[in-house]
Amino acid sequence: MSTVDIYNTKKEKVGEIGLNEKVFDLDVKEHVLHDVVRMQRAARRAGTACTKTRVEVRGGGAKPWRQKGTGRARAGSRRSPIWRGGGVTFGPKPRDFSFKLNKKVRKQALAMAMSARLREGNLMVLDDITLDAIKTKDFVGIMSTLEVDNCLIIIDGINDNLDKSSRNVNGFKVLPAEGVNVYDILLHKKLVLVQPVIESLEKRCLA
């Protein structure tokens, strides 16, 4: 079992906590992380790009000119794909890009991502982090004290003041424990966990 220090928002050590090695000490398999990140990003794609085929473009019912005798190439419709204003051949249509991976793989990838951050020395545990009001300056001050310039902060429940105070600060993101995911962990250099979420994260990965 790995033991890490617990800090307060003034970066003073206030205790220690043991981390389950089955969650925070896994061998990192890059292909597993890659598959899960690809799944997450595919699910976020809108898939709303749409073009009209020659059937859907308005008009084109009448033959533009007679078949023979004009000296021009034969044409049957003004909505031919080779005409300006005509339909599009093999253009994009609305589609769903998402795909699924096994729940076991997703849990494993989450544990691997957290293990990677711990192994790099980029995982920090705080006893608590709260703000009395929505104030970006206060949030930036706390992050400066902790010497963190790019991180994902995982909190217990929803903290509206903290969330809104961090929203306009580049490189920071606050998520409740239920929303933690592989992509956001890997996207940020450092992972900051508030102490109460550790138990729920371990249960989630081992369930």
Q: Are residues 91 and 17 in the same domain?
A: no
Report pLDDT for 136: 95
Q: Which residue range(s) make up the domain with 92? A: 46-96
Report the CATH number that the domain containing residue 135 is assigned in CATH: 3.40.1370.10
User: Domain for residue 179, yes or no?
Assistant: yes
Q: What is the pLDDT of residue 72?
A: 96
pLDDT score, position 50? 97
Those residues with Cβ within 8 angstroms of residue 25's Cβ, 6 or more apart along the chain or in another chain: 2, 19, 115, 118
Task: List the beta bridge partners of residue 13.
Answer: 7
A 10 A CB-CB count for 23 gives 23
36 within a domain of the structure (yes/no): no
pLDDT along the chain (207 residues), means of 10: 89 92 93 97 96 94 94 95 95 96 96 95 93 93 94 92 93 94 96 94 91
Q: Are residues 104 and 92 in the same domain?
A: no
pLDDT at 158: 86
- Tens digits of residue pLDDT in 75-92: 999 999 999 999 999 999
Position 193 scores a pLDDT of: 96
